[in-house]
Amino acid sequence: MTKYGSFPGSRPRRLRTTPVMRRMVAETRLHPADFILPAFVREGVSEPVPIAAMPGVVQHTRDSLKKAAVEAVEAGVSGIMLFGVPEESKKDAIGTPGTDPDGILQVAIRDVRAEVGDDLLVMSDLCLDETIDHGHCGVLDEQGRVDNDATLERYAEMAQVQADAGAHVVGPSGMMDGQVGVIRDALDQIGREDVAILAYTAKYSSAFYGPFREAVASSLQGDRKTYQQDPANVRESMRELALDLEEGADMVMVKPAGPYLDILARVADAVDVPVAAYQISGEYSMIEAAAEKGWVDRDRAILETLTGIKRAGAQNILTYWATEVAQKLR
């Protein structure tokens, strides 16, 4: 007699028999609109500069950045997150290029908006680390410590110049206490209530940022453990989440993505705003390096990691494969 509640009557493999069957019953689907492309633009270069630690990724010129933005639009990608890399001689102790209307990031924002208009969400990294001579995410006090409140004043200025340049979304990534509220106030003061804030809510002090440091020509000495979160902690992330939402975050993000899928799932279950995750440089580079060695199937590994991130609760994923994967999905 067949037992319908258990084997042999119940056979889950029936729903895995063919590609069409598996596609029909898939619970998680990637879509081009899920993706945001992080992109680097470097001041003073005439050709794109390959990033050795991130095969296939470059520091763009202004012209090549515009081309990348157009490709992203054509692929159906939703947004581009811009990181500016100023000339080394322009870096100083307060990150002046970050608030200079003619700083490379602000110029790049204007370039991309002029090229694609509202067809692509232009997002801007709101942090001082790329523009400051010591490489930290904020200004230092007399003891050499990152001064939280003095840094917030700089963030407010950055928010305003980025909004004036045309950013649809600003992404404060420095993990300073109170940053979302200060930035929201600064934007509202200049009548830019329409500019959204993507809060880097749970940004962990991770070993996987290494290749990114090359990408932005970071001058960092030491680490960022006094402001980025401890990888051992969960409740801390939920506290940061509550604070960011109270201060006016429109969207929240978990970074890195892959090693913190449990945090991503907790955040996604707790909020009613869009949730993003950043598949960071080290996650990218590990797969590219393993694929180059022939140790993993590159395309399958990329799709598997992105599917896992979305399955854990991310509505949007920042990934250096954004345009490539979106093109394949279409």
What is the full DSSP assignment across 43-59? TT-SS-EE-TTSTT-EE
CA distance 309 to 259: 10
> What is the three-class DSSP state of 108?
helix
Q: 118: how many CB neighbours lie within 10 A of its CB?
A: 9
Q: How far is CA 25 from CA 7, 17, 34, 107, 208, in A?
A: 21, 11, 20, 46, 34
Active-site hit among 66, 91, 203, 310? 203
Length reported for the chain: 330
CA distance 256 to 114: 31
177 burial type by CB count under 10 A (0-12 exposed, 13-18 middle, 19+ buried): middle
* CA end-to-end distance (rounded Å), the chain: 47
Active site residue 91: no
Active site residue 90: no
**Any bridge partners for residue 58, and if so which?**
50
Active-site hit among 255, 293, 310, 328? 255
Q: 321: how many CB neighbours lie within 10 A of its CB?
A: 23
**Alpha helix segments (H runs only) across 81-234:** 104-116, 148-165, 179-189, 210-215
Structure token digits, residue 268: 């996604």
* Catalytic positions: 203, 255
